Amino acid sequence: HVSSVASECEYLGSVCFSDIVHAVAWAPTGKLLAAGGENSKVNLLLADRAFASASELVCPAGVLCLAWSPDSRFLASGGEDLQVCVWDVLQESVAFRLPKVADWVCAVSFSADGRWLAFCGYQGDAVQLYPIEEVDHEVAEEAPRSPRGLPQGSNPERSKARDSQQLQGREQTTAVIQLGGDGFQLKIKQIGETCEGPQGASARSQAASKDRLVKLMFGVEMRPLTMSRSLERSSRVLEHGDEVSSVVGAPSGAAFATACEDGRVVLWDAAVGSRGFEAKMDKAAVAVAYSNSGLYIAAADSDSAISVWNVRTGKEEETAVVDGEVSSLAMVARPQELLAAGTLAKTVVLFSVPDMEELVVLRHTGDVRSIAFAPDGAFLTAGGGTDKMHGLMTKKSADREMKSIVWRISEDTVISYVGSIDCDDIIHSVAFSPTGKLMAMGGENRMIAILLVDREFEKALTMDCPAGVRCLAWSPDSRFLASGGEDMQISIWEVTSQRMVLQLPKAQDWFTSVAFSADGRWIASAGYGMPGVALDPIEVCEASDEHHDQGAICGALNCRFSVTELQIAVPAAPASEGE
């Protein structure tokens, strides 16, 4: 296990094989590790299951090199059989083989766009490039099915159900990069042979294949799940003595950080209900954030002063003041420790942590109500809109700038504008799922929208709420989403089926903040008129199949692995269908 903190780096163990291991490769999802060598096998290991063996691919000869396709669906291997084989890990079979060469293949790689496969070996001074593409094989329908949206670039006239993807060579020539005395030269040769994919698979076999894929990719069997209040643990209130403005979960364990109207910022241990770290601001604390590194907590007060504390030492590192009333804070540890502050002055101010050096001021066209980083720090989003009537006008014009703006953050912390997601009412809350694959946003239009990050924030589905949404929080496994707001109740949604699976007791006023604990055992909520944080014990349990229809989201997502990626496992509750 590696970390930017030296003391957190540790040896986990070793995986033993019967012969020399020549190649190891992580799947882009990070959930699978492939290993191959002289035993003529490729072993697929589950990272989330202590590297247990998930599958074994038998090769004709020793394996010297491995490479994953960008979507983690296909694995290329090469070696002593003088040939590159591309495996479909879902089917556990060879999708196709490239023509044999004169000597061993020593290196293979997919291009990041998934359109080229490159390899080289001991046969000469060349890198061979093969164009490849993924095709959908039409599946005979056993019963009428609801129509699905078509992927980008597909023919709308092809409306038959499609499921099994097959990787094959494109109908064109292959480039071979030849190293000559004058540098690189380009030679041309014909594409190699391909293997045809399965035809006419039954619906049952499709479902079994999907189940196996989810199990392979994420180490769980996705049974239909629901959530309920735990009967073994009691609800409690984390007493503050005044309204709590904001609550966030710590990145590990059962801890929460809170910001209170009395100016106190407190780190709580939910398991025992005790206070740990505590600090006092000069004015009412209006927002709090916790870095996913676990190193820093930040809070803002009503005078727009933002302070950062070191969680381990309790020391206040630095303070900065921004222009405009602070409405929301967010922190992330990658590409470096960063803090973002959203303001009602239509700005998002980005700071480095812990020195609180101002890096950039980003402009929103409306008041910023909520901000969120993607877990890997690749994106920052700010939702909001301008409402001078404070909610008294139900129909608002487009000039209120009711939208979420998304920025991309590069590895060297260069910020670039990605685009805006327009809405028909004020957005009060935005939240990325822990997997980073989904973004949720909700507001006064009584609706929660789920967007696909990897598909340029395409809207996948919506969930209708009884009243305006003021706060959102994802469960640690990205399977459940909690919402709260003007209906004075916390609702928990099972995202894959778009079902509301649990509602907590009603309060006397609106909820303004909600958070899951990192261990998934507690949900904390706060709102107007509540002198503390309500802490409810929760647990995940199996749902009856007739109440769990994943077809809705499968159709809405209509892209490889999107469902699987958002269904990463509730521990001890094994998996379901993916695409």
- Write down the residue that tokens 């399977």 correspond to: 479
Report residue 499 as tokens: 């079902």
Burial of 102 (0-12, 13-18, 19+ CB in 10 A): exposed
pLDDT tops 90 at residue 330: yes
The confidence band for 495, taking pLDDT boundaries of 50, 70 and 90, is confident
CA distances from 229 to 412, 504, 539 (A): 44, 8, 6
Encode pLDDT of 242-284 as tens digits: 999 999 999 999 999 999 999 999 999 988 889 988 999 999 9
Average pLDDT over residues 109-113: 91
- Provide the pLDDT for residue 229: 86
549 vs 230, higher pLDDT: 230
Domain boundaries, the chain: 15-218, 225-566
Alpha carbon separation from 328 to 288, 323, 389, 521 (Å, rounded): 8, 14, 21, 25
Mean pLDDT computed over 90-117: 88
Average confidence (pLDDT) over 96-123: 90
**What is the mean predicted confidence (pLDDT) over 314-334?**
95
Q: For the segment 342-365, what is each residue's pLDDT rounded down to a tens digit?
A: 999 999 999 999 999 999 999 998
Please give the C-alpha separations between residue 80 and each of 69, 104, 108, 126, 221, in angstroms, as whole numbers: 21, 5, 13, 18, 35
Place 134 in a pLDDT band, splitting at 50, 70 and 90: low
Residue 399 confidence (pLDDT): 54
Confidence of residue 391 (pLDDT cuts 50, 70, 90): low
Stated length of the chain: 579
**Least-confidence region, from 55-64, 172-181, 188-197, 327-336:** 188-197
State residue 168's pLDDT score: 52
Mean pLDDT of 23-50: 90
Q: What is the CATH number of domain 225-566?
A: 2.130.10.10
pLDDT of 338: 97
Token couple for 418: 């990605």
User: Does residue 553 carry a pLDDT above 80?
Assistant: no
Instruction: Give residue-wise pLDDT tens across range 139-189.
Output: 333 333 332 232 333 332 322 222 334 455 444 444 444 444 433 443 333
**Terminal Cα distance for the chain, rounded:** 30
Q: Pick the residue with more confidence: 98 or 556?
A: 98
Highest CATH level, class, for 15-218 = mainly beta
